[in-house]
Structure 1
Amino acid sequence: MTDTATASPLAEIIAARLTAALAPSQLEVRNDSHLHAGHSGDDGTGESHFSVIVESPAFAGQSRVARQRAVNQALADLLSTRIHALAIKASAPGE
C-alpha cells in the first residue's frame, strides 16, 4: 500500500523509486517543505524536505543503518540535487 501524503510531483517520484527498489508493503511519503519555509535548504520550490515511512520485507534482518542506506541509494541522485532533507523510518513487516 502506498500513501503519498501532501502530494507533490517530487513526492510521487520518491514513492515510485522506493516502490521499484524495495517493493514495500507500506509506504508513506510526506512533503514537509512547508514546515521549513524560509529556513536553510528551502529552495522556494516547496519540494525540499520530505519524510518517508517504509515497511519492506527487504529490511528483514538488516540494521537501521543498512535500511537507511538502502533508501538513500534508491534516491541518491535526488538527494544530491533536489532533496535537502529526508527523514526515514524504515522497518520490516511485523516490527
Structure 2
Amino acid sequence: MFVRIVKMSFHQKHIKEFLMMFEKKKALIRASKGCQLLELYQDKNSPEIFFTYSYWNTEQDLENYRNSEFFISTWQQTKLYFNGKPEAWSVDKRESLQ
C-alpha cells in the first residue's frame, strides 16, 4: 500500500464550490478500484490550502484512476479554482500508530 498526498491552494471565492464538488464526488473517488482510504484536510492557518490523502493498493490502481474519464473531468473542473500550482507526492507508508 502507498499513500498519495496532494496539496492544493484555492482562490478564496472558490473554496465553497470546491467543497461542494468534493462532497458530490468523494464516494466515487473512494470506490475506485484499489482505493482504500480518502481524506481531505484544510490548513488551520491558511484556509485556502487543502490536502488530500488517499491510500492505494498499487501504483497501477492510482494510474488507472488518474487516466479515467472521471478523474480527468474532475481535475479539469478543480484546476479552475486554483490560485497556485498543486503539488503531489507518492509515499510508502512506513508506520502507523493508533
The alignment's TM-score, normalised by the length of structure 1, stands at 0.42
Which is strand-richer, 1 or 2?
2
The alignment's TM-score, normalised by the length of structure 2, stands at 0.42
Question: Relative contact order, CA 8 A, sep 6+: which one is greater?
Answer: 2
**Structure label with greater radius of gyration:** 2
